[in-house]
Amino acid sequence: MIPSVLPTYNRAPLQFVKGEGAWLIEADGRRFLDLGAGIAVNALGHAHPALVQALTDQAQALWHVSNLYEIPQQQALADKLVEHTFADTVFFTNSGTESCELAVKMARKYFFDKGQPEKVEIITFDGSFHGRSSAGIAAAGSEKMTKGFGPLLGGFVHLTFGDLDGVTNAISENTAAIMIEPVQGEGGIRPVPDAELKALRQICDEHGLLLILDEVQCGVGRTGKLFAHEWAGITPDIMMVAKGIGGGFPLGAVLATEEAASGMVAGTHGSTYGGNPLGCAVGCAVIDHVANPDFLAEVNRKSGLLRQKLEGLIADHPQVFEEVRGSGMMLGIKCKTTNIDVVNAGNDNQVITVPAADNVIRLLPPLTLTEDDIAEATNRLDAAAKQVENQLEIA
Ligand SMILES: *Cc1c(COP(=O)(O)O)cnc(C)c1O
Q: What is the pLDDT of residues 54-78, one digit of tens each?
A: 999 999 999 999 999 999 999 999 9
Instruction: State how far the Cα of 94 lies from the Cα of 74, in Å rounded to an integer.
Output: 13
CA distance 186 to 293: 28
C-alpha torsion sign, points 342, 348, 350, 356: positive
Annotated binding-site residue? 132: yes
Residue 136 CA to residue 153 CA, distance in Å, equals 9
What value, to the nearest 5°, has the Cα angle with vertex 346 and ends 344 and 349? 115
pLDDT mean over 161-167 = 93
CB 191 within 8 A of CB 327: yes
Query: What 3-state DSSP class applies to 89?
Result: strand
Question: Rounded to the nearest whole angstrom, what is the distance from the C-alpha of residue 107 to the centroid of ligand 1?
Answer: 19
Report the distance separating Cα 306 and Cα 96, nearest Å: 27
Evaluate whether residue 378 is within a structural domain: no
The predicted pLDDT at position 395 comes to 77
Q: What's the whole-model pTM score?
A: 0.98
Nearest ligand 1 atom to alpha carbon 96: 5
- Check residue 87 and give its pLDDT: 98
Atom of ligand 1 nearest to the CA of 128: 13
Å from CA of 287 to ligand 1 middle: 19
CATH number, residue 201: 3.40.640.10
- Are residues 195 and 232 located together in one domain of the fold? yes
Nearest CA to ligand 1 atom 11: 130
> Binding residue per annotation — 124?
no
Collect all residues with Cβ–Cβ distance below 8 Å to 26 and sequence separation of at least 6.
14, 15, 16, 17, 32
- Ligand 1: residue of 39, 100, 104, 216 to mutate (most ligand atoms within 8 A of CB) is 216
In the chain, the number of structural domains is 2
CATH number, domain of 335, equals 3.90.1150.10
Residue 321 resides in a domain: yes
97 annotated binding-site participant: yes
Q: What is the mean pLDDT of residues 162-176?
A: 96
Residues 38 and 118 in one domain: no
Residues 219 and 359 in one domain: no
Nearest to 336 by CA among 318, 313, 348: 318
The pLDDT of residue 393: 87
Note whether 250 and 266 are same-domain residues.
yes
Query: Are 162 and 184 spatial neighbours (Cβ–Cβ below 8 Å)?
Result: no
312 labelled ligand-binding: no
CA of 165 to the centre of ligand 1 (A): 27
Q: Are 43 and 366 in contact (CB under 8 A)?
A: yes
Give the SS3 label for residue 394.
helix
Q: Which domain holds residue 102?
A: 49-291
Q: Residues 316, 226: one domain?
A: no
Of ligand 1's listed atoms, the one at least distance from the Cα of 98 is: 9
Is residue 168 marked as binding? no
Protein residues whose CB sits closer than 6 Å to any atom of ligand 1 = 95-97, 129-131, 181, 185-186, 214, 216-217, 242-243
Whole-number Å distance, alpha carbon 131 to ligand 1 midpoint, is 5
pLDDT band at 394 (very low <50, low <70, confident <90, very high): confident
